[in-house]
Chain A
Amino acid sequence: MKIGILSFAHHHAEAYIQNLPLIPGVEIIGLADDDRQRGERMAWQFKARLFDSYEALLAARPDGVVICSENNTHRPLVEMAAGAKVHVLSEKPLATTLNDARAIVEACNRAGVKLMTAFPMRFSTPLLEVKARLDAGDLGQVYCFNATNQGQMPRKHRDWFVDKELAGGGAVMDHTVHLADLMRWYLGSEIVEVYAQTNHIFHADEVDVETGGLLMLTFANGVFATIDCSWNKPPYYPTWGGLTFELVTERGAVMVDAFKQNLTVYRHDLQRPAWAYWGSDANQAMLAEFVAALREDRPPRVTGMDGYRAVEATLAAYESAKSGQPVRL
């Protein structure tokens, strides 16, 4: 199974290129990047072949590609891959406009290639455990969620994360999709209404996008959920951020912290506590699923439509933040 990586604009590519060879039978054919310098650096660092262009990589006939370009350039790369009949795993959010998200899904449908959206939380072992309890009926009927996906302002990873054009927005675009997708998965129900309030107080002088946000989602089955997507963690916080939720059911509540499996490490060189994660790698399981879907010729567990729905909710949040009232989907 031959996999290529298109663009290292998203730093997750640096993890994926290390995850992929751990899957038996998977070979990385190489990478391509429209930022030539970055491409050369990554090819050297990860001892991978650098193709001159995306077209050249696709011409080498990989079975699948992982697309890690800026959020607003997923569409041209997906269309290029679909045109070459190559299966696609796209970084999240699938796109920054609904038009692009739809075009991405349709291009893959037309070409008959598989499209998976990179939602690693669907492969988080604590979250899978809760999902299993839910499906077994151990928790009873679900009423609501109180959820957070907070983090540090991500510019230290890449400048474009805080560029409105390239990223599609700030904290709301960065952090809404994971929980929106997780809740759709848990509930098997679609989001029908979104309310959001955003502000620009954290890092106000450094970035132009919203850095704080609180959302309220309502699902078709009546479940409601809040999401805190803020970039509220200071740069010296023990970790990058996290994803938590309280799931309230007829039987009480379940408190979940997806990234709690940490050591607390105190280091002279850092002069602050750091959390070292020892839980299972959700990225590894996500990539294994992409490869398995290709091998078994079946739809991946997370589809392009899942990516589309999450974008739809995120864009509704921006619309609501403007109007100050809930937006119906």
Chain B
Amino acid sequence: MKVGIAGVGFMGATHAAAWAETDATLAGFVAETSNEAGRLAEQYHARVYPSFDALLANVDVVDICTPTHLHHEMTLKAAAARKHVVCEKPLARTVEQGEAMIAACRKAGVKLLVAHVVRFFPEYALAKSAVEAGQIGRPAVIRLARGSFRPKKPVGNWFLDFEKSGGMMLDLMIHDFDYARWVAGEVESVLAKSIGHAMADAAVDYGVAILKHRSGALSHVAGAWAYPPPTFRTRLEIAGDAGLIEFDSAATAPIEMLLKKPAADAPDVGLPSSPLSESPYTTQIKEFYAALAHDRPARVSAEDGLAAVQISLAAIESAKTGKAVTL
């Protein structure tokens, strides 16, 4: 199975490292504007293709790690070429695009796997399985928070271009919208507010959303592009009628570094994630490989990816209109 990766930013490089841990052959990379493809191709003994079409012609699976607004067009091309698709979250920039992607892949008989990696983080997977096993009874009120700084890119910071990324609510909060739906079921209504939608020129962005699930459960989702680098913090609280699960990445960090800076102007050293024997990105790609190579089920479907986009866009609409939005 030959895999090609489109996009060589942080996620493309992370997925490349993950694919290298599978039996798939990493055939090559394509990137429109970056020299990074050459470095990655060298590292993984792969090729750099001059265009997405050239990449498609030489692989069985394309892993789309490009900016959100490009997912639609690339997936349609891949489906037309009868190639399987792994697509970074969010599945698409709009619901219509996501629906078209699912329809095209179904028609072409190819798989469409959406990289909602939070489902593969062991703390989130464990909490989900504890709920599934009935350990805390029926979920009633769920709190999910995910916070960091505004994404930085040396050039072409598409994250900050709302038309391309959908902003913080579609790019960041979608993780927890997906997780809330995974744990408590379909979402009936959303009311949300964010700094970004309340004042365009604010220095930070922070959003909060109240979800009502059809099950009767409520979820509170918070997302932040507001903290100083290198902060990345997530929190989870699932309260049920027979118990409670709490998680805070800061409180469960196994290493705390109280080190003097080697030089006064040196940056603080940050640990990006909890030390684990296998990166959650690798766990995810291994499961996707098994889905593609052996037709095994993956824990996240294209329809899940579409539902997460629907919730995110409903939250954005609510933040713009001030009304609760019914799904």
- Tell me the A residues contacting B by CB distance below 8 Å: 143-144, 146, 148, 193, 195, 197-204, 211-214, 216, 218, 222, 224, 226, 228, 230, 232-234, 237, 246, 248-253, 324-326
Q: Are A228 and B324 in contact, with the CB atoms below 8 A? A: no
Q: Are A216 and B244 in contact, with the CB atoms below 8 A? A: no
A146-B145, A226-B210 known; A253+B227 contact, CB < 8 A: yes
Indicate whether B198 reaches chain A with its CB closer than 8 angstroms. Answer: yes
Indicate whether B228 reaches chain A with its CB closer than 8 angstroms. Answer: yes
Q: Are B140 and A146 in contact, with the CB atoms below 8 A? A: no
Q: Can you sample 13 A-B contacts with CB below 8 Å?
A: A197-B191, A197-B212, A199-B140, A200-B216, A201-B217, A216-B191, A218-B193, A230-B141, A230-B239, A237-B244, A248-B204, A249-B204, A253-B147
Q: Are B244 and A234 in contact, with the CB atoms below 8 A? A: yes
Q: Are A228 and B241 in contact, with the CB atoms below 8 A? A: no
Q: Are A195 and B191 in contact, with the CB atoms below 8 A? A: yes
Q: Are B244 and A326 in contact, with the CB atoms below 8 A? A: no
Taking a contact as CB atoms closer than 8 A, the residue among A200, A211, A234 that contacts B243 in the complex is A234
Indicate whether B69 reaches chain A with its CB closer than 8 angstroms. Answer: no
Indicate whether B208 reaches chain A with its CB closer than 8 angstroms. Answer: yes
Nearest-Cβ distance from residue B252 to partner chain A, whole angstroms: 16
Q: Are A144 and B227 in contact, with the CB atoms below 8 A? A: no
Flag the segment in B71-79, B170-178, B218-226, B263-271 that touches A.
B218-226
Nearest-Cβ distance from residue A246 to partner chain B, whole angstroms: 8
Q: Within B131-179, which residues are at the interface with A (CB < 8 Å)?
A: 138-141, 143, 145, 147
Q: Which residues of A contact B324 (CB under 8 A)?
A: 195, 324-326
Q: Are A326 and B322 in contact, with the CB atoms below 8 A? A: yes
Task: Give bound CA distance, A202 to B199, whole Å.
Answer: 37
- Tell me the B residues contacting A by CB distance below 8 Å: 138-141, 143, 145, 147, 189, 191, 193, 195, 198-199, 202-204, 206, 208, 210, 212, 216-218, 220, 222, 224, 226-228, 237, 239-241, 243-244, 322-324
Q: Is the interface of A mostly helix, strand, loop or mixed?
A: strand
Q: Are B220 and A201 in contact, with the CB atoms below 8 A? A: no
Nearest-Cβ distance from residue B199 to partner chain A, whole angstroms: 7
Q: Are A253 and B140 in contact, with the CB atoms below 8 A? A: no
A216-B191, A232-B140 known; A203+B241 contact, CB < 8 A: yes
Nearest A residue to B322, CB-CB: A326
Q: Which residues of A contact B138 (CB under 8 A)?
A: 201
Nearest-Cβ distance from residue A239 to partner chain B, whole angstroms: 13
Q: Are B195 and A143 in contact, with the CB atoms below 8 A? A: yes
Task: Give bound CA distance, A201 to B227, whole Å.
Answer: 34
Task: Give bound CA distance, A252 to B218, whole Å.
Answer: 27
Q: Which residues of A contact B210 (CB under 8 A)?
A: 195, 197, 214, 216, 226
Q: Are A250 and B220 in contact, with the CB atoms below 8 A? A: no
Task: Give bound CA distance, A198 to B220, whole Å.
Answer: 12
Q: Which residues of B contact A203 (CB under 8 A)?
A: 241
Nearest-Cβ distance from residue B223 to partner chain A, whole angstroms: 10
